[in-house]
Amino acid sequence: MTTNKPLILVCNDDGITAPGIRNLVDAIKHLGEVVIVAPDSPQSAMGHAVTISKPLRLEKTDIYGEIQSYQCSGTPADCVKLAVDKVMHRKPDLLVSGINHGSNSSINVLYSGTMSAAMEGAIEGIPAVGFSLCDFAYDADFSYAKKVAAQVAENILNNGLPHGTLLNVNIPKATEAEIKGIKICRQANAKWKEEFDERKDPNGRKYFWLTGKFMNNDKGEDTDEWALANNYVSIVPVHFDLTAHHAIPFLNKWNFSI
Amino acid sequence: MTTNKPLILVCNDDGITAPGIRNLVDAIKHLGEVVIVAPDSPQSAMGHAVTISKPLRLEKTDIYGEIQSYQCSGTPADCVKLAVDKVMHRKPDLLVSGINHGSNSSINVLYSGTMSAAMEGAIEGIPAVGFSLCDFAYDADFSYAKKVAAQVAENILNNGLPHGTLLNVNIPKATEAEIKGIKICRQANAKWKEEFDERKDPNGRKYFWLTGKFMNNDKGEDTDEWALANNYVSIVPVHFDLTAHHAIPFLNKWNFSI
């Protein structure tokens, strides 16, 4: 069905049946014509992986009733690529990804499948945003996150986004009464301190589980981590030009004898 | 064995037996104590994926003779995390990743497993660089790429890198005589135009292969694409702060009623 309403593509990384994406669809469906293309199984921490060494499956589902939805065997970035090439009748006006079960603030933007879907949208020239609720629970309370998602989506549809920019929106785990507002932030310079849990399998062979502690040494009050710790929603504008422009003069002083 | 020589971690995404990593080890082994931790199978296009939903294996191998080497069942980013936590006796002085069989210029930096290993190193505070030869062939000629790798590695060991910066080095597919030199560049604003190849399996069910055309509409002569097209080696300094700082004032004008 072709309409004049905004065309909105919905994706995530927790899989098409996750409560987060169901809440996101519910939050934004009044804003336009919605099409869902999401992974058929959880794809957390997939970063910006794409599937090149095996074929992809894409199946229409009816789990969203009247709303068109497709499940895909690939990564979040695959979902967006397939949606743009094979599902959508025109370029979407908006891509919303999430709502992720768990934070994607700071350095997690790099590991996040939720954000890779949004980034793939931005690369395709689609205004895009990823939403994450800082609560890993399956039965987390998405009611305030839904309000944030609706308002951010509406702002993007009304105002657009600067070329090549997408948004990383994180919502603190707090009650609506506790939340102080919304802050536009920069990505905090924080990282994970890895600690692999070493175990033995039933055959006596060693294996490792990735665990770790999140370490934030960035004391700036303009960061997403500061905002979330102080019960603000954080919005970080993100781009996919990874060039460290400030380092170019330093490198131009190097000598090469080739 | 602990020495006073620089400690160099080597990783890649094509797998521990690929010609590219064997050539890289050969190119830099005179510069310090080398430890190899690389995937046990090809991990191309894994982006910055990490493995959280299954355990990892890490096995010592002897395929590099005297040089310590380990194969890991995870992604390139997993390899670096495991190396730092479980293999290296101290923080490495340098991480080199590659030499990738195929370009990682422009937007490919986001999809690249080679670059995700280097980026993980940079996040860990290790000076890091990814090398890619613009030739997908298994039997590609790595002789000039080896010279580039040795000189870049030596420059990093001597001069360091600005905090939080890593390097994305691409070497054109050309003879040494044809190559004009080395250029410090920015990431070209180019993208892939996806075209999924739609097929039917023996049971009549549809499946898709990702293919695509690389589209470069960035005419700048300061980009990696321009350098490579003109037979220069491209070096792009890369960082992991994805904040689009220039977009913050635009977003601060938005209105939210929550």
Question: What's the burial of B62, exposed, middle or buried (CB within 10 Å: 0-12/13-18/19+)?
Answer: exposed
Find all residues with CB under 8 Å of B239, minimum gap 6, and list them: A242, A243, A244, A247, B122, B164, B165, B166
Q: Which residue of B has its CA nearest to A197?
A: B55
- Given phi > 0 = left and psi -120 to 50 = alpha, else beta, which region is A125? left
Q: What residues of chain B lie within 8 A of the CB of A88, using their CB?
A: none
Q: Which of A56, A181, A208 sits opposite B82 (nearest CB)?
A: A208
User: Chain A: residue nearest B41 by CA?
Assistant: A53
Question: Are A190 and A182 contacting, i.e. CB atoms less than 8 angstroms apart?
Answer: no
d(CA B70, CA B88): 11
For residues B2 and B89, is the Cβ–Cβ distance under 8 A? yes
ipTM of predicted complex: 0.92
> How many CB atoms neighbour CB A91 within 10 A?
12
**For residues B207 and B201, is the Cβ–Cβ distance under 8 A?**
yes
CB contact under 8 A, B184 and A248: yes
What is the C-alpha to C-alpha distance for residues A238 and A122, in angstroms, rounded to an integer? Answer: 10
| Residue of B100, B95, B98, B160 lying closest to B128 (CA atoms) | B95
Do residues A232 and A172 make contact, with C-beta atoms less than 8 angstroms apart?
yes
Q: How close is the nearest chain A Cα to the Cα of B33, in Å?
A: 23
Mean pLDDT by 10 residues, chain A (258 residues): 83 96 98 97 82 90 97 95 94 97 95 95 97 95 97 97 96 96 96 90 92 92 98 98 96 90
Q: Do B243 and A46 touch (CB under 8 A)?
A: no
Give how far B83 is from chain A: nearest CA, Å: 10
Distance from CA of A27 to the nearest CA of B (A): 15
Element (H, E) at A114: helix A113-123
Q: Using CA atoms, how far apart are residues B149 and B167, in angstroms rounded to an integer?
A: 11
Give, for all 258 residues of chain B, the pLDDT tens digit: 556 899 999 999 999 999 999 999 999 999 999 999 999 998 877 778 888 888 999 999 999 999 999 999 999 999 999 999 999 999 999 999 999 999 999 999 999 999 999 999 999 999 999 999 999 999 999 999 999 999 999 999 999 999 999 999 999 999 999 999 999 999 999 999 888 999 999 999 999 998 889 999 999 999 999 999 999 999 999 999 999 999 999 999 998 887
Q: Distance between CA B130 and CA B120 in Å, rounded?
A: 11
CB of B4 less than 8 A from some CB of A: no
Q: CB of A136 within 8 Å of any CB in chain B?
A: no
Q: At B215, which helix (H) or strand (E)?
A: strand B206-216
B50 closest CB neighbour out of A45, A241, A251: A45
Please name the residues in contact with A201: beta carbons below 8 A apart, sequence gap of 6 or more.
A207
- For chains A and B, CB pairs below 8 A equal 238
Contact B248 A57 (CB under 8 A): no
**Cβ–Cβ gap A237/B244 under 8 Å:** yes
Q: Rounded to a whole number, what is the distance in Å from the CA of A34 to chain B's nearest CA?
A: 22
DSSP per residue over B117-180, as a string?
HHHHHHHTT--EEEEEES---TT---HHHHHHHHHHHHHHHHH---TTEEEEEEE-SS-TTT--
